[in-house]
Structure 1
């Protein structure tokens, strides 16, 4: 149903559908509707939360005429349900953080409003300031709906001293990237001989994200697609999936990888220097700096093809409001522009700034190890563009519950492949609850 302005009118069905997106109760927030006041919702906790608060303090100091009211909510489906319900009830904040992978769930039902590119340019922001892939994913049906803040890719951490003793570093103390899966296996064997424990530490249990992110990294390297280009049918390549899962399971069978660890357990094990390698998102950089271990980082190596890596992107969006003036939009765009121009501080936690003037700046280039995997920004692989994908989504939860057990041999590869196929088809058969 379309309103007079051509946008999707928010109906009772949309309101109920928004609840289905995350499955928790309605929580609302009052929109500001006033010049000089800005309400901002985000989902940043831990080190990211501290950094965001510092960036907001800088904004307040530079813009004393603006009353900024920020709210931090719990990461994942709870955040997205609250945001969806507030938008559906027309009681949304002025601006909010959203993962680009979640855009297909929010834009079709009118839960977020399109961004005016001309007004955005008046704030000094345009397409030329972002990687082409992230800018493309900021659109839906040809309209701009998001302003990317960063990208956070799957990366490889390694213990420098362990890898040096294992003979894996070059004359400049740089890790030699493996040329394919068997070279990686050899590297893991070498580091296991040094540690006497593990070659690779990774999360395969709990409610974390590594099993999906690792699978999607390798599957995309191999040229695999889950869906047809229109996102309506399965393109599940069983041969590629089986090959990847058999390889990952074989690493565990040889005793080269950790087993049954959740995210906290994997972090603790690598921090205790009982593994040469650690696979995770880049956001743990501060954790290992504070642990004072000799680590470094690199973009995830190309094992089954080019060195592509799974990623998502934090972005700014306009939650739906029935009336938003040009003046209010400019206030929001200037707020986003301020954070983008100062996103070198955001990069200190590991995320790659999406704003290219910062990503190419001397300040960011000098950051170690944060800038060492910067090149992946042009090759990041976001989730398929469907409503059930993206950070903290149903697809992540349901596929991770299969992939983790396969990786550490609690489930056979054959059973895992069949279960993945069923989950994917079930998701495809479920309509977007807010479209």
Structure 2
């Protein structure tokens, strides 16, 4: 999410007022420095004191380096350990520069943006309705937009997750019941433009490519991230509320607040998560 007011007259907004010019970490950090110079209290706000917010930014930065969290049953194998340390180092630097909030809980990280104190806000699409509603009521107070996280480290990638329907394995189900289940799921998918109204990117192609969704902004703008979405590895230690989230709040967050060196944090994360895989 971006508060455009901090970048008026700069190279970071094009003639239509769209965010532009961020094609590397150096570009992004230049924008953060400019926002701070222009009065932003938290140039990039995310939930630095929350497991989900911390992990999602870390994982995005890891994947943007072409890194892998788990490879053939090994956590942060080979140079992935160095890539993890680099991701934590970047987050630590944002803290040192005063660009991100200190120990911000989720609600506080959102409030920093909606109150106009943050230039950028890294979060999921589920907060889009918050911004849309506030803008319609005239309580947001600034021109805003939302884009997929720019390519900062060479590889385009954004942490993502998906809501999905599932039919439990091993369930005895008659052909008639299965047909009814699939009909219900199909109806939900075919009518998922309502789901898109909550900020989400619909998975059903006819809806995702429809004129109705194409006119839905800023959803249509950031829907490109579906092509480069970075999902957690399929593992019992990964995913929402899993040990990787515990590692984010217990290891990564303390490191970026100065209690551990990035390399130490990456090694501790590797050891902790590897023990969970045994």
TM-score by length of 1: 0.59
> Corresponding residue for 1:301?
150
> Corresponding residue for 2:15?
171
Separation of aligned partners in 2, 1:418 and 1:233: 13
Match of 1:254 among 79, 92, 97: 97
RMSD, matched Cα: 1.7
**Equivalent residues of 2:7, 2:35 under 8 A apart:** yes
Tell me which protein shows more strand as a share of its residues: 1
> Corresponding residue for 1:213?
56
**Equivalent residues of 2:159, 2:229 under 8 A apart:** yes
2:275 equivalent to 1:426:
yes
Q: Deviation per CA, 1:64-89, whole angstroms, max 9, x where unpaired?
A: xxxxxxxxxxxxxxxxxxxxxxxxxx
> Corresponding residue for 1:16?
none
2:132 equivalent to 1:283:
no
Matches within 5 A, 1:58-77: none
Change (3 A) 1:163 1:384: same
Matches within 5 A, 1:33-432: 157-164=1-8, 166-206=10-50, 208-228=51-71, 230=72, 232-236=73-77, 237-292=80-135, 293=140, 294-320=143-169, 322-429=171-278
**Equivalent residues of 2:12, 2:21 under 8 A apart:** no
**Equivalent residues of 1:399, 1:423 under 8 A apart:** no
Separation of aligned partners in 1, 2:76 and 2:271: 13
TM-score by length of 2: 0.91
The list of structure 1 runs, each at least 4 consecutive aligned residues, that deviate by more than 4 angstroms after superposition, is none
**Equivalent residues of 1:188, 1:200 under 8 A apart:** yes
**Equivalent residues of 1:405, 1:411 under 8 A apart:** yes
1:270 CA displacement: 0.8
Query: Number of residues paired by the alignment?
Result: 270
Please state whether the residue corresponding to 1:317 is helix, strand or coil: coil
**Further displaced range: 407-416 or 175-184:** 407-416
**Equivalent residues of 1:402, 1:420 under 8 A apart:** yes
> Corresponding residue for 1:66?
none
1:417 CA displacement: 1.6
Separation of aligned partners in 2, 1:177 and 1:380: 21
**Equivalent residues of 1:204, 1:259 under 8 A apart:** yes
Structure (1 or 2) with the larger CA radius of gyration: 1
Q: Deviation per CA, 1:379-422, whole angstroms, max 9, x where unpaired?
A: 11111111221222232223333222223334332331222111
1:166 CA displacement: 4.9
